[in-house]
Amino acid sequence: MKTSQSLLGQAIVPEPATNNDNVIRPLLDAVSPLSLQRHSAGQSGALLRFLDETGVVLSSVDATGAFTGAAASPAGAVILAPATAGRNTIQPTADVTSLLINRPAANTTAPIFRIVDLVSASEMFSISPPGSNLPVLIQNINPSDVGFTLLEASGQSVSTFFIGDSGFNPLFAVGPGAKIGFLGAAPVVRQTNGTAADLAAIADAHVKAFLTAVSNGLVNLGLFAAPA
């Protein structure tokens, strides 16, 4: 029986003794060192498999060229076709950004990140760079679904939804417990309120109580200024 050294350079050594026993080196830069060709378009077996010491598949390349991995896949590998939830979890080991996607160039407008519906091929969510007119896009695929939902945490004490200027000064906010809502009215500046003297001069007690409650409500919503 030939040893690994006697077969070196002539055939695949099934039991290599060194890392260099099965090296494939092409003679030209344009030549692929190794090509695996499927039997036919109907091939069901994998083109390439990686096994553990007991013969269990760790990962493989199927007949379409897709890479898949099992539970013993190398740490840090991205599973392109995960079979279970949590297979592609990113867990930093320090207080650092978990995932950073850089814009390729300053003048690009293509989305940096996209989520696409497999059935309709419609874009469901995307993040695009400045200048694209749609920096953040959320597109509803099913007309019977709510397009965008924000849920409060139990005991929420700060705004559930906040829009601010470049200095983080509030422009619009929705507080916990559905405390504010606009019913399609055009945005307006804060309106001038009546004076405290105007309210005090109302003779009818019921009218005064009603208008005072309305005024206080509009002031608390931020739509009216406080009575002068």
Closest CA to 120 of 148, 144, 136, 141: 141
Per-residue buried b or exposed e for 89-101, using 16+ beta carbons within 10 Å of the residue's own CB: eeeeeeeeeeeee
Higher pLDDT, 38 or 155: 38
Choose the weakest-confidence range: 21-30, 84-93, 219-228. Answer: 84-93
**pLDDT at position 77:** 65
Higher pLDDT, 100 or 78: 100
Output the average pLDDT for the chain. Answer: 80
Residues forming beta bridges with residue 170, ordered by sequence position: 164
Most confident range (mean pLDDT) of 19-23, 210-214, 222-226 is: 210-214
Q: How confident is the model at residue 74 (pLDDT cuts 50, 70, 90)?
A: low
**pLDDT at position 71:** 47
Cα dihedral 216, 221, 227, 228 sign: positive
CA 111 to chain centre: 12
DSSP 205: H
pTM, entire model = 0.46
- Res 131 pLDDT > 80: no
The domain locations on the chain are 108-142, 161-221
**pLDDT at position 31:** 92
HSE-CB for 216 with a 13 A CA cutoff: 7
Higher pLDDT, 127 or 130: 127
- Res 176 pLDDT > 70: yes
Q: How confident is the model at residue 204 (pLDDT cuts 50, 70, 90)?
A: confident
- Res 208 pLDDT > 70: yes
pLDDT in tens, 38-49: 999 999 999 999
- Res 72 pLDDT > 50: no
Q: Report how far residue 190's alpha carbon sits from residue 90's, in angstroms, rounded to the nearest whole number.
A: 45
**pLDDT at position 29:** 92
- Res 15 pLDDT > 60: yes
**pLDDT at position 178:** 59
Choose the weakest-confidence range: 64-78, 160-174, 200-214. Answer: 64-78
SS3 5: helix
Closest CA to 67 of 53, 56, 77: 77
